[in-house]
Amino acid sequence: MEYEERIDRIQGNYIVADCRYFENVLDKKPLIIDGLTVNIGEKTTLYDWFTKPCLFVGFLKEAAIFYLGQNDSTLFDSGAFYYDATYIIASDRILKIYKLGSARDFFLNNKNGKIYWK
């Protein structure tokens, strides 16, 4: 089982693994964001952080790991499994890395009952 952490200037940091056994090395604790509890194996948009529900599979250090899917392409990383890695700083603050040595944090806001990241 091998995995590699990568950084994309648009998507941010993510993980590519050669199999889903990668999930066995993750810390299996629930993710708690501002009153929202996401348990292992549940799907969430994380207050619209994701455009569609993604499967929460655990933590790698401080990063919450979400399974995004498998690439069946023959061009790049054929058969690879892709995961989002979003760092949880606080119950209302997350962080993404878009290039080495630099990161962007996002804060959860609630305006007129609409919860969003800014």
Q: Write out the chain's pLDDT in tens, 118 residues.
A: 689 999 999 889 999 998 999 999 999 999 999 889 999 999 999 999 999 999 999 999 999 999 999 876 555 556 789 999 999 999 999 999 999 888 999 999 988 888 889 9
pTM: 0.91
Which residues neighbour 91 within 8 Å (Cβ) at sequence distance 6 or greater?
A: 32, 33, 34, 35
Q: Whole-angstrom Cα distance, residue 22 to residue 83?
A: 10
Q: What is the pLDDT of residue 77?
A: 56
Q: What is the pLDDT of residue 114?
A: 86
Its domain, for residue 57, covers: 3-117
The CA angle 67-70-75, to the nearest 5 degrees, is 140
Q: How many domains does the chain have?
A: 1
